[in-house]
Structure 1
Amino acid sequence: MEALSLQEMELKMFDETYEKLRKELTSFDDDELRDAKLWFDKVLQYNVPHGKKNRGLAVSQMFVLLASKNDLTEENIELSRIVGWCIEFMHANALIIDDIMDQSVTRRSRPCWYRQVNYIFLRFSITVYPKPNVGFMALNDAMLLRSAIYETINKHCSGHPMQHKILDMFLVAYQNSEYGQCLDGLTTQEGSKPDFSLFTASRYAAIVKYKTSLYSFDLPVRLAMYLAEITDEKVHEKVTVILLRIGHLFQVQDDYLDCYGDPEVIGKIGTDIENGKCSWLAVEAFKRLNCEQKKIFTENYGIETEDSVKIIKDIYNQLHLQNIFKEYEAKEFNEICKMIEEFEKTNGKEVNAQVFFKLLDWIYKREK
């Protein structure tokens, strides 16, 4: 048997931490909560451990880069994995709600959780009767995942000098992501055509910042910093500036892949066009549409038909948005690298710049 690489070993240990947390969160001492705990076990197993886990892994991997040698104990590294899984709980919570709001079909190559069904096989018949099993119960399931974060932190971070900072970061991250979700939803309200006056670079940047960047990039790295007891708020502010830029690039990539990615690779069927999302592609298209194209675009964007989706994609191709994206991605990568190098000159002693380069390695030219 081949020896595991360091990355494979870390993933294995990260997954072992998840199993420990899952058993803790679903254990029960009496029958009162038995059914709820057994249900929550299904929620966890279906929604939490099947993604790329980059957000959660970032906490433990960044902690190793940031902590002093004396603090790099197995106990502290394990705590960073536990906090990392709290972000994965948060991410699963966000995906469940997002999929319901967007009426998405698949997530991670499987039906979205709210679309899950059980199948009843009659004893003397091969007939299969679909029975809705989750539906809007998924909203409560998302709240259970949120509660699991605070239960886990209170249990495992109790006594840590940064416990209050860690809790506060999750509270703020949730508030930010909820405001971001609100901005996203207000751009295209259910039953209405998109408000194309909001398809601007500034509105898009605000949605990305609050809905994605803060919890996907700022949260994991700064949690690792607090776990490593790096508490200088000015340094945290400088770190946030770079992380938000990385997060913006990540979301632009996501929007691109929603349209041009292979569903077999990215694990979901893109729905940004049908849902009338204020995506990077749509914003960039609006900058370049002539009068005739704009008329066709506004008539078809946000319409859930194959013909309308094809019309929008044809316009994207006419505008050469694939090439524009590739140029943007390369330019942003270089700009972010310059920001990191400048940061390293003045703050290299407090924060290892490899933290940022590692994140860039994860996302640059990704296909899923």
Structure 2
Amino acid sequence: MSHLQIAKTLKHVRAFLPGALSLNLHQAETNIVKTRLDQLFDHAVLGGKNTRSRLLVDSYSKLKPSASVQEMDNVSQVAVTIEMLQAFLLIVDDIMDDSKLRRGKECWYRVPGIGMNAINDGLLLDCSIDLVIRDAIPTHPNLHQIIAAIYEAKRKTTIGQLLDGQTAGGGNISWARYKQLVEHKTSHYTFYCPLQMAMLMGDVVGGLREIKTIAYDLGYLFQAKDDYLDCFVDEGLTGKTSTDIAEGKCSWIGCSTLDKLKGEPKLKKVFEECYGKNDSKSVDICRTLIGDLKIDNQFHEFEKMMVKKLSNDIDNFSVNELKPILHDCLEQIVKPKGVDLAKEKRKIAANM
């Protein structure tokens, strides 16, 4: 249900923004803005999974089950600003990475006639966020905190992107760096921000400190699981190209491997020299070491420990209405859709 709500609201915001951004323009210039925004929304904003915005809407509906249709529309309008932020971040990320495709289409900057103007288009989305929120909830008692929450998420994600870009290769990764990367690139933006905004929208602020701890742990497990899938699960099932080893990512797998190689200086040196080299021989050497060290088994033990801790923390969370949402988040991390993990475990065992 929330997916349909978000899709409908994105179309509403797509229609609202040209007028809001063109108040001081003549008709010809207004038409230019509208044409560009329509193209931008259709290509780069619509069509995503809307995971974060759906988490916000679903959380609010649990907090306020008797909310009116108008209240839910207002919450959805606030929620889609996260999708606008996501589109902005992806546009810039694709340029930085020289990416070709996004969601099965040409990256926005590669569309004929767009080029580096894509940077300004991303800024157009970013500077529209507060307009959309103020239009939806102009008199909400937590208006300024809600706007501050999404901009805090942007700041933290930008710092995470900076750290990620400066961290590559076996000699540059560590658990300390990994934890900071996950907090800034994943945990805060993907889990805490939607939950925080839902609670602020519902004026339920008593459990914000608790939810932050739970959200950050969910994000940590989510990222670790993503790192595991990148290394051990077939690309055809995940829908993503396995690149962490070749790119020398500061990942859960990389950190765990270096940890286990502390007592093996020669092998550690080999791993550090090969990790981050984009050639099949180096990647194969790293994969062999990772397999020999049984890093997959270590991950499964870590996952069990985290699931137990998170389950306990969620059960003891003071805001009872959000417990089902949080347990569902945990379930989706442990058992990602479209991936038969039992089958993959058997395949890994056969190849080791």
Answer yes or no: same fold by TM over 0.5: yes
Q: Please, which of 22, 40, 58 is the counterpart of residue 14 of structure 2?
A: 22
| Cα shift at 1:68 | 6.0
Q: C-alpha distance in 2, partners of 1:21/1:203? A: 38
| Cα shift at 1:44 | 2.0
Residues 23 and 348 (structure 1), Cα distance of their counterparts in 2 relative to 1, 3 Å cut: closer
| Cα shift at 1:202 | 1.8
User: What letter matches 2:87 in structure 1?
Assistant: A
Question: 1:218: which partner in 2?
Answer: 192
| Cα shift at 1:135 | 4.0
Would you say the 8 A contact 2:182–2:220 is kept in 1? Answer: yes
User: What letter matches 1:77 in structure 2?
Assistant: M
Question: 1:82: which partner in 2?
Answer: 77
Q: Please, which of 282, 290, 294 is the counterpart of residue 268 of structure 2?
A: 294
Would you say the 8 A contact 2:59–2:322 is kept in 1? Answer: no
| Cα shift at 1:205 | 0.6
Residues 113 and 283 (structure 1), Cα distance of their counterparts in 2 relative to 1, 3 Å cut: farther
User: What letter matches 1:366 in structure 2?
Assistant: P
Q: Deviations over 1:261-280 (max 9, x none)?
A: 44444443233223222111
Q: Please, which of 156, 166, 182 is the counterpart of residue 176 of structure 1?
A: 156
Greater helix share, structure number: 2
| Cα shift at 1:171 | 1.7
How high is the TM-score relative to the length of structure 2?
Answer: 0.85
Would you say the 8 A contact 2:6–2:50 is kept in 1? Answer: no
| Cα shift at 1:82 | 1.3
- Cα RMSD, aligned residues only: 2.4
Would you say the 8 A contact 2:2–2:57 is kept in 1? Answer: no
Structure 1, gaps ≥5 residues long: 1-8, 119-132, 189-193
Residues 264 and 145 (structure 1), Cα distance of their counterparts in 2 relative to 1, 3 Å cut: farther
Question: 1:140: which partner in 2?
Answer: 120
Question: 2:54: which partner in 1?
Answer: 57
Question: 1:39: which partner in 2?
Answer: 36
| Cα shift at 1:295 | 2.3
Number of residue-to-residue matches in the alignment: 331
Would you say the 8 A contact 1:108–1:267 is kept in 2? Answer: no
Question: 2:174: which partner in 1?
Answer: 200
Question: 1:13: which partner in 2?
Answer: 5
| Cα shift at 1:67 | 1.9
| Cα shift at 1:201 | 1.4
Residues 319 and 33 (structure 1), Cα distance of their counterparts in 2 relative to 1, 3 Å cut: farther
Q: Name the SS of the counterpart of 1:231 in structure 2.
A: coil
Q: C-alpha distance in 2, partners of 1:332/1:278? A: 20
- Pick which of 102-111 and 322-331 moved more: 102-111
Q: Name the SS of the counterpart of 1:221 in structure 2.
A: helix
Q: Please, which of 199, 203, 211 is the counterpart of residue 229 of structure 1?
A: 203
Question: Where do 1:65-214 residues align within 5 Å?
Answer: 65-67=62-64, 69=66, 72-114=67-109, 116-118=110-112, 133-188=113-168, 194=169, 196=171, 198-214=172-188
Residues 106 and 322 (structure 1), Cα distance of their counterparts in 2 relative to 1, 3 Å cut: farther
Would you say the 8 A contact 1:105–1:269 is kept in 2? Answer: no
The answer to whether structure 1 residue 273 and structure 2 residue 268 are counterparts is no
How high is the TM-score relative to the length of structure 1?
Answer: 0.82
Q: C-alpha distance in 2, partners of 1:272/1:101? A: 17
User: What letter matches 1:251 in structure 2?
Assistant: Q
Q: C-alpha distance in 1, partners of 2:319/2:40? A: 42
Q: Deviations over 1:166-221 (max 9, x none)?
A: 11111211111122222222223xxxxx372x422121011110121111100101
The answer to whether structure 1 residue 365 and structure 2 residue 335 are counterparts is yes
Would you say the 8 A contact 2:18–2:30 is kept in 1? Answer: no
Q: C-alpha distance in 1, partners of 2:104/2:228? A: 18
Q: Name the SS of the counterpart of 2:49 in structure 1.
A: coil
Structure 2, gaps ≥5 residues long: 339-352
Q: Deviations over 1:73-97 (max 9, x none)?
A: 1111111211221111122222233
Would you say the 8 A contact 2:170–2:271 is kept in 1? Answer: no
The answer to whether structure 1 residue 259 and structure 2 residue 256 are counterparts is no
Q: C-alpha distance in 1, partners of 2:216/2:128? A: 26
Q: Name the SS of the counterpart of 1:352 in structure 2.
A: helix
- Pick which of 92-101 and 53-62 moved more: 92-101
Q: Name the SS of the counterpart of 2:245 in structure 1.
A: coil
| Cα shift at 1:226 | 0.9
